[in-house]
Amino acid sequence: MHLFIEVLTLVFFLATVAHAGATRGRGGLALFGSLLFLGFVRENFVVLREVLYGFSPLSLMLGKAPLIASIIWGYSIYLAVVWAEEVTGEPLREDRPSGRFLAAAALFMMALACFYEPFLALIRMARWQEGTRMTLGVPWIALVGYPSLTILYLLLRGWAKRPLLFWTGLAILALAHTAGLQALKDLLGW
């Protein structure tokens, strides 16, 4: 069953990339490229450092992390952007998005955490560290992690105009966000 979910997620990811390319052109494809890089760095750091959560053995890999874990960030953050655009009536700007846009994207990601996390636990695809505090199968730290990575990504995208600065910032964001969430989780006992 895991392979079916992995392939289905890959199909949805590719369909979303096609949507971004068709509606946003090269900018949409660049958006996805950066989100794929962010997911790749973040999830490989999770696996290599054994922080936050772990995965069941899966078939499709990207580095040391499951492919599904790396691509789901791009898919999810893009959907949050599209949803925020619809709800606020504002397009994703090249500079810093408005507070209203960021709040809408953050709320979408929190709702997505409430869907993804119980499902992943149900099918035993991912498992959080022992003792992670949860309500109805949703880790409390996920309700912080999903929206905060989205907001930080959107802010970085608006701030870092030079390609080298942006791509370096993405790598730092992926590592710092993961390490910061683990530290917050440990500090709060979540």
* pLDDT band (50, 70, 90) for residue 1: confident
Q: What is the mean pLDDT of residues 171-188?
A: 98
DSSP assignment, residue 94? S
On whether the CB atoms of residues 92 and 82 are closer than 8 A, the answer is no
pLDDT of residue 93: 87
pTM of the model: 0.94
Q: What is the mean pLDDT of residues 45-58?
A: 94
What residue spans define the domains of the chain?
2-188
| Rounded alpha-carbon distances, angstroms, from residue 155 to 27, 159, 160, 171 | 16, 6, 9, 14
For residue 63, the one-letter residue type is G
